[in-house]
Structure 1
Amino acid sequence: MKIACLGWGSLIWKSGSLPVAGEWRHDGPSLPVEFCRVSDGGELATVLCMNAPAVPVMWAWLSETQLDLACRALRQREAIPDERCDDIGSLLVTGRPTGVIASWAAQRGIEAVIWTDLPPASASIEGRVPALDEAVAYLNGLTGEAREHARDYISRVPAQIDTPYRRAIGETLGW
């Protein structure tokens, strides 16, 4: 099975144990991504956010040919416990595909697609999207290594992930 992984954050520059075969490509489907998850590392990470405007994400082929093993590899790379298997998205492309991801994948001969599907999170509440001013204030309040880590994360996210929050962070904090 030909499996691809979608990416829009650290997975692109730090794939770890994920069996990526080749380079990350820039012509992924356009999905609603935003910097709206305060992650374990303290950065404001990119995640799917249904009220965000769509941006073209990146994708890479995987050398793994079994969908369950590909999902497991992504879950391990993301340090997502097995009981949170819903935090890995997957789509088996069959028949007459409908929807953004399925149509995009079918055009490229991709048979299955996986992605990290962690929810937004702020103020220690999973599923809560921080308001734009909250997100900027959160980042502005970071100091030392945490601030440098957050700035590094934002600077490494590919430029095509051009979101309202990213623009506001750039204008306000100069990142």
Structure 2
Amino acid sequence: MNVEKPALKIAILGWGSLIWDEWPEFDKHHEEWLPGGPVLNLEFSRISESRKGALTVVIDNDHGAACDTQYAVSTRKNPDDAIADLRCREGTIITRMGYYFADGSRTCDPQVPETIAPWAAEKGFDVVIWTGLPSNFRAKTGKDFSITNAIDHLRSLLPEGKGMAATYVWRAPDFVKTKLRSALQIEPWFAGS
């Protein structure tokens, strides 16, 4: 007798452009974004090449502030498909994908934040996936991430990069409250970008 396994309930976590940038190939495979995702340590500490040096928000356990996140339910039945959807959307490699399997059957390269397992259990998710891109600030600048160094980096960008940086920070959801964002929102040169 061939018994079909029940479909896994899969959540996708978001806190940045995943939420506001429309991407039809990705968006058609998940439901709407909902508040109430797990709290994660986030900071604008990744230098983005595609955004001309702008700083993007990532999980950063060294410099991040505890922030709320959002989640969307994947319409995929197979977690590999859901992970591939997000990987393609983010234009990255599989080792930069974060995922948590409640049954412990698989592990990922990015560290799984401690808030994810209890959140998944509370919400009834079998699998949780997220973009696991790390901070690359030190690797790209040769300097440790700090508010001063991050602002100096942003000031050094060409006008197009400054514009992209301002747009990214201002479009980030209100629940992403980091030290750098707070500092940038009072910088006259940044607010007027």
* Shorter-chain TM-score tier: 0.7 to 0.9
TM-score of the two chains, using structure 1 as the length reference? 0.87
What is the CA–CA distance in structure 2 between the aligned matches of 1:129 and 1:155, rounded to whole Å? 24
2:116 maps to: 101
Aligned partner of 1:71 in structure 2 is 83
Equivalent residues in 2 for 1:2-151 (5 A)? 2-16=9-23, 17-18=25-26, 19-40=28-49, 41=51, 42-51=53-62, 52-81=64-93, 85-94=94-103, 99-122=114-137, 124-125=139-140, 130-151=145-166
The structure number with the bigger radius of gyration is 2
Residues in 2 aligned to 1:31 and 1:123: alpha-carbon distance in whole angstroms: 21
C-alpha distance in 1 between matches for 2:77 and 2:54: 32
Percent identical pairs in the alignment equals 33
Structure 1 unaligned blocks of 5 or more: none
Deviation per CA, 1:9-67: give whole Å up to 9, x if none: 11111252224433211211111110000011222000110122211111111111211
> Does structure 2 conserve the Cα–Cα contact (< 8 Å) formed by 1:120 and 1:129?
no
Question: Any unmatched runs of 5+ in structure 2?
Answer: 1-7, 105-112
SS in 2 for 1:160: coil
Q: TM-score, with normalisation over the residues of structure 2?
A: 0.80
- Go from structure 1 to structure 2 and tell me whether the alpha carbon gap of 1:125 and 1:2 turns closer, same or farther (over 3 Å shift): same
